[in-house]
A and B are shown apart, each in its own frame.
Chain A
Amino acid sequence: MISLHGLTKVFPGGVRALDGIDLTIGDGEFFALLGPSGCGKTTLLRTIAGLETAGSGTISINQRDVTCLPPGRRNVAMVFQDYALFPHMDVTENIAYPLRIRKVPRAERLAKAADVARRLSLSELLRRRPAQLSGGQQQRVALARAIACHPTAFLFDEPLSNLDARLRLEARTFLKRLQRELAVTTVFVTHDQAEALALADRIAVMSRGRMIQVGTPAEVFQRPATTFVASFIGSTPMNLLPARAAGGSLYAAGAVLPAPAGLTDGDDLVYGVRPEYMDLSPTERPDAFPGTVSVLENLGTSTLVTLEEGGTFVQAVVDEGDEPRLGDHAWAVPRRALVYRDGELLAP
C-alpha cells in the first residue's frame, strides 16, 4: 500500500509540479497516473521512487514512512521510459544487478536471474547485450530486472511508449497478465488514455500538479469530473457544447434538451456527449443537434460523422452500414449526456 499526504513540490523558478497530492493506492492495485505532458505525473512517480524530494508532505509504503529515505531503501523497483538497461552488461548481468547490490552470492543471483528470465521468455537471450535486443525484448528485460529484486511496489514510467503500435498492444496484454500474477502494487505513468483505461484498476487524471479525478476506468470514462477530464479521456473526443438553461430546458447547438434539477437561468453550462453515445436521425427532432454531414472518418467497425451547423461541430459514431452521405442533413440525438457548470460535473 502506498499513501501520499499533502505532497507538494515546487521547482526552482516557481513551477508547482506537485500541488498537495493526497492519494492511497491499495495492495496489489494497478494504478495509472494519466495526464498531458507537464502535468506532474512523472514528477509524482519519481517522488515516490525517491529520485525527487518532496517540498512538503509524506510518503509511506506499507505503513512505513519513506519520505526521507534514499531511493535504494524504499524497496521499490522502477522501469524507466528508455528502460535504462546498462549497455555494458548482458541480459543476465542486468537482471541480476539489483541482487548484486544486495550482496546476494553470485551463484544464487545468476540462478535467480535465469529463473525470472525464463518466466518472461528471455532464456534464449541471456548472453546478449541490450543493443542486440529488439524494443520488446528490452522492455521485458527491464521488467525482469524489476521483478528480480522482489520489490513491494513497481513504478513504471511510460513503459510502453517506446514500442511501435502493434507491439504495444501485445505488451499491454502481457503487462496486465504479469501484474495479476505477481499481485504487486504497481504505479505507472502514461499520457495515453487508452493505455490507462485498458491496464489500470484505478486512474488518477492529473493536471498542473493536481489530481483532477481518481476512479476506476469505467467511472472516469462515463462520468468525467471536469470538462478537462472529459476532453482528455476517450479515443474520440467528447462533444462539449456551450449551453444555456431557460425555463427548465437546456438550449445547446440548436437542440432543446431536458435540464437536470438545480439549474438557474443564465448559468455558464457545457453540455457533454460522447460521440459513441449519439444516434443519428435522418428526420428533424427538437431534442437533437441539426447539421450537415461535413466529414466522414472510417474507424473500422464504425464511422465518425461530423455535423456542421453555423460554425458549430457535433460528432457522432455510427455503426458500419449506417453512414449518411456527405452533404446530407442529419440530426444527432444524445443518448447519455453530462452537464457541466463552471467546468465541474453536475451531480446526477
Chain B
Amino acid sequence: MARPMSAVDAAGLGRGRAVGFVLPALVLIGVFLVFPALWTIYLGLTDYRLTGLAAANPQVVGLDNYTDALRDPRFLGSLWLTVGYVGGSAVLGQAVLGFALAWVLRTRTGRLRRLVEGVVLLSWILPSTVVGFLWFALLDRDDGTLNALLNTPGFAWLLDHPLLSIIVFNVWRGTAFSMMLYSAALENVPPSHLETARLAGASVFQQLRDVVLPLIRRHVLTNLLLISLWTFNDFTPFVLTGGGPEGRSEILPIYVYNVALRGGELGAGAAVSFLILLINLAFALVYLRLLRDRRRREAALTGGPPA
C-alpha cells in the first residue's frame, strides 16, 4: 500500500480538464483521419468526378465502381503487380536481407559494423524524393552509374524491368527497419542456447532452425506484418517510375493516384481506396492481436500488473 492502487487521478487534473486535454488531438484526428476514412466509403459508391457534370452533381451508383474495377484488367494487373511488389521487396527482400544483416553483424564490432549499419540506416532516413533521384541517376539509360559499372551502355533498367527496379529500390530503401528489429530480437537469444547447439555439432542452418527461429518467431511475424503493410501502401515508387511504362509498375497506391487525381475519377479511386483500407485493416488487426497477446503473456510471466 505504499503506492495505493487508486491513483485514478494522480495529477489532480479532474475529468473535465482531462477531456479538455485530449479533445484537440481527437478533433484533429477525427477530421483528418477518421472522417476521410468514412468518406471514402461514401465516395466509392458514387460516380463523383473532379471535373464535368458529375463533379457538380454526383450520383450514387451503388457497387458499380467495385464491379467495374474487378472487371478492369488495369486494376487486376495493378493488384498483381502489388502482390509481386510486396512479396518481392518486403517479404523476400527486406525481411531476408534484414535478418541476414542482423545475424552477421551480431558477432561483429567495430568499424565495419558501424559503417554497414550507418549506410543501411541512411538509405532509410533520406527524404523520399532525394532517394528517388539517386536511383534515377543510378539506373539512367544513357549515363547511369550502373550501366557504366556493368559495361551495359544504353540498357534501360527502368523501362525494361520497371517492377524489378522498384523492388530492388524498395529493398534498398526499407531494409533498415527489419535489420534493427531482428538485431533487437537476436539480442534476446541467450548465447548459451546457441553454444549448446554448436557443441552438439549443429550447422548454422540447424542453429537457425532449431534455436533462433522458435525464440524470435513473434518478432518475425511482427516484422512481416508491418513491412508488408507499409510496402503495400508505399507511394515512393511514384517518384522513380510514375507507374510506367504503360502501367507496368503501377502498384495500387499509384493506380489510385492516377485514376482519381490525375484521371479525375474520384468515385472509382475512392472505391479502390476502400479496398486498400480493408486490406490494411486485416493486417492491422492481426498485428494488434499479436501485440495484445504478448502483453498478456508478459503480464502472466511477471504475475500480473503491480498493485
Contact = CB atoms under 8 A, between A and B. Distances in A.
Touch between chains A and B, by CB atoms below 8 Å: yes
Interface of A: 11-12, 17, 37-43, 46, 51-52, 70-71, 81, 157-158
A41 B1 contact: yes
B5 A42 contact: no
Nearest to B2: A81
Nearest to A35: B1
Nearest to A43: B4
Interface string B89-110: 0000000000000000000000
B302 interface: no
B6 A42 contact: no
B1 A42 contact: yes
B12 interface: yes
Contacts of A40: 1
Contacts of A37: 1-2
A17 B7 CA distance: 13
Nearest to A158: B2
A52 B4 CA distance: 10
Given A70-B12, A71-B12, A52 B6 contact: yes
28 contacts: A11-B4, A11-B5, A11-B6, A12-B8, A17-B4, A17-B6, A37-B1, A37-B2, A38-B1, A39-B1, A40-B1, A41-B1, A42-B1, A42-B2, A42-B3, A42-B4, A43-B1, A43-B4, A43-B6, A46-B4, A51-B12, A52-B4, A52-B6, A70-B12, A71-B12, A81-B2, A157-B2, A158-B2
Nearest to A11: B6
A70 B13 CA distance: 11
Contacts of B6: 11-12, 17, 43, 52
A70 B5 CA distance: 20
Pick from A39, A43, A51 the residue with the most CB of B within 10 Å. Answer: A51
A157 to B, nearest CB: 8
Interface residues of B, number: 8
Interface of B: 1-6, 8, 12
Nearest to B6: A11
Interface of B is mostly: loop
Contacts of A17: 4, 6
Contacts of B3: 42
Pick from B3, B4, B5, B12 the residue with the most CB of A within 10 Å. Answer: B4
A134 to B, nearest CB: 21
Question: Which 8 pairs of residues, A with B, have the shortest CB-CB distance?
Answer: A38-B1, A37-B1, A11-B6, A42-B1, A43-B4, A81-B2, A42-B4, A42-B2
A81 B3 CA distance: 9
Nearest to A46: B4
A11 B5 CA distance: 9
Nearest to B4: A43
A37 B1 CA distance: 5
Nearest to A70: B12
Given A40-B1, A51-B12, 7 more contacts: A12-B8, A38-B1, A41-B1, A43-B1, A70-B12, A157-B2, A158-B2
Contacts of A11: 4-6
A46 B12 CA distance: 13
A71 B11 CA distance: 11
Contacts of A39: 1
Contacts of B8: 12
Nearest to A40: B1
Contacts of A51: 12
Contacts of A38: 1
Contacts of B12: 51, 70-71
A41 B3 CA distance: 11
A51 B8 CA distance: 10
A139 to B, nearest CB: 16
B305 to A, nearest CB: 14
A196 to B, nearest CB: 16
A71 B14 CA distance: 13
A46 B2 CA distance: 11
A17 B5 CA distance: 11
B7 to A, nearest CB: 9
Contacts of A43: 1, 4, 6
A158 B4 CA distance: 14
B59 to A, nearest CB: 54
A325 B5 CA distance: 50
B1 to A, nearest CB: 5
A70 B14 CA distance: 11
A17 B2 CA distance: 13
Contacts of A70: 12
A204 to B, nearest CB: 15
Contacts of B2: 37, 42, 81, 157-158
Nearest to B10: A51
Nearest to A42: B1
A188 to B, nearest CB: 13
A250 to B, nearest CB: 38
A46 B7 CA distance: 11
A55 to B, nearest CB: 12
Contacts of B5: 11
Contacts of B1: 37-43
